[in-house]
C-alpha cells in the first residue's frame, strides 16, 4: 500500500515523513526530526545543496527540495553555476585538517555514461512488421467488468475495471477517472506511467502515487477522462522476482513501437539521466511523425520541467488535436 505523505516511493517512504518533502518552501535547519547518521538535520526535502564539483553542464547539485519527489534526495543533478532557483542552497562544512581531504572529493563528475541515441537507425517497414506480428492476438470478447465505482475526494468519479488479457488467461486492471465538471461523451486520454510504477506492488491507492498528482490529475480537472491501465510489469502485475522493469527482457516489449501520431516532448536542458542532445533530440528526430506535428521544448531545469509549463503545454497540445473540452 502506498503512503500519501510526500509522494513516497518504496524505501524512500521511511525517511520522507520526517522531512520537508511536500512542504510549501524551505524551513530553518532543525525544524523537523529528519537527521542523517552523521547528525546533519533537514537535508532531505529542504533545498538541494550545491557542491564544488564541475559537471558536463555546470556544477554538481545534490538532494531534493521541498517540491521535488522524495526519491530525489539521493540523486545527483547538475545546473549552471549561476542558477538562482529558490530550490537551491548550500551547507557549510568546517574541516579541521583541510590538507587531509582527498583530491577525489573535488573531482569532475561525469554523472554516468547515458546511452547516445544519435547513431540509431530505424528498422525497415518489412522488419517492423515481423516485430509487430509477435503481438498479434485473437479478437475475442474482453469480458469487461466494473469492479467498483465511487466518488473521489479529488472531485471526480473513479471506476476500477477489469478485462481479459490476450495472453495467459490473465485479467487486466485499469482505473478510469471521469470528470465531474464535464458532460459525456468525454475526450479520453490513456496514461502510460514511468518506471517507478514497477517498484510498487499495489495500485489500490493509485491517487496517492506521485505520478497521479503530478502528471494526471490536472487532465481530469480540465474535463477529460483518463484511463490508467495496470500494465504488465507494473503495480499488481509485476513479474515474479522482478528487479525493476528496465532490467528485464520483458521490458523490451514496451519499446517495440513505431510512432506517427502527433507528439509533444518536454525535457530539462540539464537532465543528467537523459541528456537532450543524446536522448530527447534523437527521439524527436527519429519519430515517423511529420515535422509539423512533433515538437520538443527544453527548459532550464534538470529531469522534470516546471509543473506550470508542462500543464500549460500539455493542455494546449490536447486542445489542438482533440479540440477544446466541452462543458
pLDDT reported for residue 7: 38
**Tens digits of residue pLDDT in 215-262:** 999 999 999 999 999 998 889 988 766 555 555 666 677 777 889 999
What are the cell numbers at 112? 554516468
What's the CA gap between 291 and 218, in Å, rounded?
Answer: 28
- Tell me which DSSP letter residue 212 carries: I
The pLDDT tens digits of the residues spanning 123-160 come to 899 999 998 898 898 899 999 999 999 999 989 999 99
Show the beta-strand stretches assigned E in 143-202: 145-151, 156-164, 171-179, 188-190
User: What span, in angstroms and rounded, lies between the C-alpha atoms of 45 and 317?
Assistant: 32
pLDDT digit string, tens, across residues 25-47: 888 888 888 887 888 888 888 89
* Paired residues of 159 in beta bridges: 149, 176
Q: Is the pLDDT of residue 283 over 90?
A: yes
Residue whose C-alpha is closest to residue 19's, from 67, 58, 59 = 67
Residues in CB range of 250: below 8 A, 6 or more apart: 232, 233, 239
CA distance 281 to 295: 10
Q: In this predicted model, what pLDDT tens digit does every residue of 44-74 receive, in sequence order?
A: 888 999 999 999 989 999 888 888 877 777 7
What does the block give as the cell for 239?
513479474
User: Residues 33, 20: contact at Cβ < 8 Å?
Assistant: no
Which range (236-240, 299-303, 307-311) has the least confidence?
236-240
- R_g of the chain computed on alpha carbons: 22
Residues for the chain: how many in total? 327
Are residues 178 and 225 in contact, defined by beta-carbon separation less than 8 angstroms? yes
Where does the pLDDT of residue 4 fall: very low under 50, low under 70, confident under 90, or very high at 90 and above? very low
Question: Residue 2: pLDDT band by 50, 70, 90 thresholds?
Answer: very low
Residues 273, 267: Cα–Cα separation, whole Å? 11
pLDDT at 6 over 50: no
Query: How far is it, in rounded angstroms, from Cα 230 to Cα 20?
Result: 30
Beta bridge partners of residue 189, listed in sequence order: 226
In this predicted structure, the answer to whether residue 8 has a pLDDT above a threshold of 60 is no
For residues 45 and 32, give the distance between their C-alpha atoms in angstroms, rounded to a whole number. Answer: 11
* Average pLDDT, rounded, for the chain: 87
Distance CA 256, CA 254 (A): 6
Grid cell listed for 157: 468519479
| pLDDT surpasses 90 at 297 | yes
Mean pLDDT along residues 265-281: 92
Is the predicted pLDDT of residue 3 greater than 50, yes or no? no
pLDDT of residue 247: 58
Each residue of 161-212: pLDDT tens digit?
999 999 889 999 999 999 998 999 999 999 999 888 887 889 999 998 889 9
Task: Strands of 71-219 (E only): list them.
Answer: 76-79, 88-89, 145-151, 156-164, 171-179, 188-190
Q: Distance between CA 228 and CA 43 in Å, rounded?
A: 34
Amino acid at each position: 500500500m502506498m503512503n500519501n505523505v510526500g509522494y513516497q516511493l518504496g524505501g524512500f517512504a521511511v525517511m520522507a515523513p520526517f522531512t520537508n518533502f511536500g512542504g510549501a518552501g524551505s524551513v530553518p535547519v532543525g525544524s523537523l526530526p529528519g537527521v542523517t547518521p552523521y547528525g546533519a538535520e533537514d537535508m532531505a526535502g529542504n533545498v538541494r545543496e550545491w557542491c564544488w564539483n564541475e559537471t558536463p553542464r555546470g556544477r554538481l547539485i545534490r538532494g531534493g527540495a521541498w517540491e521535488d519527489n522524495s526519491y530525489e534526495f539521493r540523486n545527483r543533478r547538475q545546473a549552471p553555476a549561476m542558477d538562482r532557483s529558490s530550490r537551491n542552497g548550500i551547507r557549510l562544512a568546517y574541516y579541521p585538517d583541510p590538507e587531509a581531504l582527498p583530491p577525489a572529493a573535488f573531482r569532475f563528475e561525469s554523472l554516468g555514461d547515458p546511452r547516445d541515441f544519435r547513431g540509431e537507425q530505424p528498422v525497415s517497414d518489412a522488419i517492423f512488421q515481423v516485430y509487430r506480428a509477435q503481438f498479434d492476438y485473437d479478437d475475442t470478447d474482453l469480458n469487461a467488468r466494473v469492479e467498483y465505482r465511487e466518488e473521489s475526494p479529488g472531485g471526480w468519479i473513479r471506476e476500477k475495471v477489469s478485462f481479459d488479457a490476450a495472453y495467459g488467461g490473465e485479467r487486466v486492471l485499469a482505473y478510469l477517472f471521469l470528470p465531474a465538471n464535464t458532460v459525456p461523451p468525454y475526450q479520453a486520454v490513456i496514461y502510460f506511467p514511468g518506471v517507478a510504477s514497477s517498484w510498487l506492488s499495489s495500485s489500490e491507492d493509485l491517487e496517492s502515487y506521485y505520478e497521479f498528482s503530478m502528471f494526471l490529475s490536472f487532465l481530469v480537472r480540465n474535463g477529460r477522462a483518463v484511463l490508467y491501465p495496470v500494465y504488465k510489469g507494473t503495480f499488481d502485475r509485476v513479474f515474479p522476482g522482478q528487479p525493476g522493469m528496465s532490467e528485464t527482457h520483458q521490458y523490451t516489449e514496451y519499446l517495440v513501437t513505431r510512432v506517427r501520431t502527433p507528439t509533444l516532448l518536454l525535457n530539462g536542458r540539464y537532465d543528467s539521466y537523459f541528456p537532450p542532445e543524446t536522448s530527447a533530440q534523437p527521439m524527436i528526430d527519429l519519430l515517423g511523425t511529420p515535422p509539423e506535428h512533433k515538437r520538443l521544448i527544453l527548459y532550464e531545469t534538470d529531469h522534470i520541467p516546471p509543473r506550470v509549463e508542462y500543464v500549460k503545454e500539455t493542455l494546449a497540445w490536447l486542445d489542438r488535436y482533440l479540440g477544446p473540452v466541452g462543458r
